Amino acid sequence: MVKITNYLKLIKYFWLNIKSINLIMQDNQVQIFDTTLRDGEQVPGCKLDTAQKLVIAERLDLLGVNVIEAGFPVSSPGDFKSVYEITKIVKNATVCGLTRAVENDIKVAAEALKYAKYPRIHTGIGTSDSHIKYKFNATRDQVIERAVKAVSYAKSFVEDVEFYAEDAGRTENEFLAKVCEEVIKAGATVLNIPDTTGYCLPEEYGAKIKYLKENVKGIDRVTLSCHCHNDLGLATANSIAGVINGARQIECTINGIGERAGNTALEEVVMILSQHPYLNLETSINKKLLYDTSMMVREKMGMPVQPNKAIVGANAFAHSSGIHQDGVIKNRETYEIMNPEDVGVTESAIVLTARSGRAALAYRAKKVGYELTKIQLDEAYLSFLKIADQQKEVKDKDIHLIMNQLVSI
Ligand code: KIV
Ligand code: ZN
């Protein structure tokens, strides 16, 4: 009888936890934690007001992200208000607020999150020797003590507490494992292992995650999270190395915006996992909304994206050299590893430049209403090259001009 009561208690405990933590998860599911509104928004020039943040938060929820880091509530009354309002409109995602390992930060974050269906407090402290010495003038033991205190305090407000070991990328693995073990005991549900300075190589970052998986007691009760910065252009590669080695959450931003060189780009990790199915790792992202969401964030933040940006840049599905154009016109897969429609881009573009060949000119001429014979195409191509040598790109209006001047038409 006693045993049955205990068993029922256990079921009740897990049920309550599962209800308050948005974490019913299969092992091949990678949680997407979007920090566009926190790490992304702290970039100079990207500042948003509450109304703009609400529009983006609503879109992120629709996109299917699992966690929205809505802000750093103690940092300003405006950020507090944004987090507070966002919790009221987000329907599916966990809403998360950032704090330092400081009691008042945590109390304020808990207040800002009080209407969230699934609230999460994200607290933490620097763990690298450099942070411990220069930022805190403390010892390793003191840092562990502060970390544990912060997690326990956050736990008195919400069930779902994520701990970040800032500068984990440059933290010695053995010490990092000790920190992780202690915060798990204090109740952390997610462990964020940030490569704050974007220093790690993918192999190194992957090995760090593997080391934690193998050496931290209780690690199987928590989710390991990758939070990688792009200082050496390795944020995406590091995040992928992280999930291959056992992490199950990626922290990222739309268009990869964020401190300095930015964060891991959400659209990149989502498409990498989707285009490499043998990895057997999935996300819940509605990929068809990726391009529109990217456009929305550019517009609201006034932060343009370079044309060669993977997935969402203007040239991501544009072909300009004759050899590539000929291939793509024959079969898209010759030079495209994903279908533009899958990410919400209407179609691949055949851009006419002086490097384009006859196939591309015939293709574009047909699109604007001219079906050319071989003789007509030869003649048109000569005029085309003259124009193309004088300007960067030959547009539809130029094609009409070329066609109107054709003798053979
Ligand atoms: O880069 C970082 O370490 C962070 C933490 C605050 C999570 O953004
Ligand atoms: Zn960061």
Q: What is the mean pLDDT of residues 51-69?
A: 98
- The pLDDT confidence band at residue 3, using thresholds 50, 70 and 90, is low
All domains of the chain in start order, with CATH = 2-301 (3.20.20.70), 318-408 (no CATH)
Are 31 and 239 spatial neighbours (Cβ–Cβ below 8 Å)?
A: no
- 39 CB near ligand 1 (under 6 Å): yes
- Counting from 1 in the atom list of ligand 1, the atom nearest the Cα of 263 is 1
Asked whether 315 and 288 are in contact (CB, 8 A), the reply is no
Of the listed ranges 71-80, 182-191, 333-342, 400-409, the one predicted with least confidence: 400-409
Q: Cα torsion for 243, 246, 251, 255, to the nearest 10°?
A: 0
Check pocket membership of 325 for ligand 1, CB cut-off 6 A.
no
CA distance 130 to 193: 16
Per-residue confidence at 234, pLDDT binned at 50, 70, 90? very high
Centroid of ligand 1 to alpha carbon of 166 (angstroms) = 6
How confident is the model over 300-318, as a mean pLDDT? 97
Task: From the CA of 167, give the closest atom in ligand 1.
Answer: 3
Task: Please report the DSSP string for 212-245 in residue order.
Answer: HHHH-TTGGGSEEEEEEB-TTS-HHHHHHHHHHT
DSSP string, 70-112: EE-GGG-HHHHHHHHHHHHH-SSSEEEEE--S-HHHHHHHHHH
Residues contacting residue 253 through CB under 8 Å, at least 6 positions apart: 34, 35, 36, 39, 40, 262, 263, 264, 265, 266
34 has pLDDT over 90: yes
375 C-alpha to ligand 2 centroid (Å): 59
Tokens 């462990």 belong to which residue? 191
Is the predicted pLDDT of residue 355 greater than 50, yes or no? yes
Ligand 1 centre and the CA of 195: distance in Å? 8
**Nearest CA, atom 2, ligand 1:** 196
Atom 8 of ligand 1, residue of closest alpha carbon = 39
Q: How far, in Å, is the centroid of ligand 2 from the Cα of 260? A: 10
Contact yes or no for 151/191 (Cβ under 8 A): no
Does ligand 1 come within 6 angstroms of the Cβ of 196? yes
What is the pLDDT confidence band of residue 407, given thresholds at 50, 70 and 90?
A: confident
**pLDDT-derived band of residue 15, with 50, 70 and 90 as boundaries?**
low
The label of the residue with tokens 């593997």 reads 210
Q: What does the pLDDT look like over 144-173, one tens digit per residue?
A: 999 999 999 999 999 999 999 999 999 999
- Which ligand has its closest atom nearest to the C-alpha of 253? 2
Q: Ligand 1: which atom is nearest the Cα of residue 194? A: 3
- Ligand 1 atom with the shortest distance to the CA of 35: 8
Mean per-residue pLDDT for 83-89? Answer: 98
pLDDT at 75: 97
Burial of residue 88 (CB within 10 Å: 0-12, 13-18, 19+) is: exposed
**Residue 271 C-beta-side C-alpha neighbours within 13 Å:** 25
Which residue has its alpha carbon closest to ligand 1 atom 7? Answer: 164
pLDDT reported for residue 1: 47
What tokens were used for 31? 């949680």
Across the chain, mean pLDDT equals 95
Which tokens hold the place of 147?
Answer: 């970390």
Q: What is the mean pLDDT of residues 286-310?
A: 97
- In the predicted structure, residue 390 carries a pLDDT above the cut 50: yes
* Cβ of 263 less than 6 Å from ligand 1: no
Distances, alpha carbon 100 to alpha carbons 42, 44, 154, 165, 179, in Å: 15, 21, 11, 11, 16
Is 16 a residue whose pLDDT tops 70?
A: no
In short, whether 264's Cβ falls inside 6 Å of ligand 1 is no
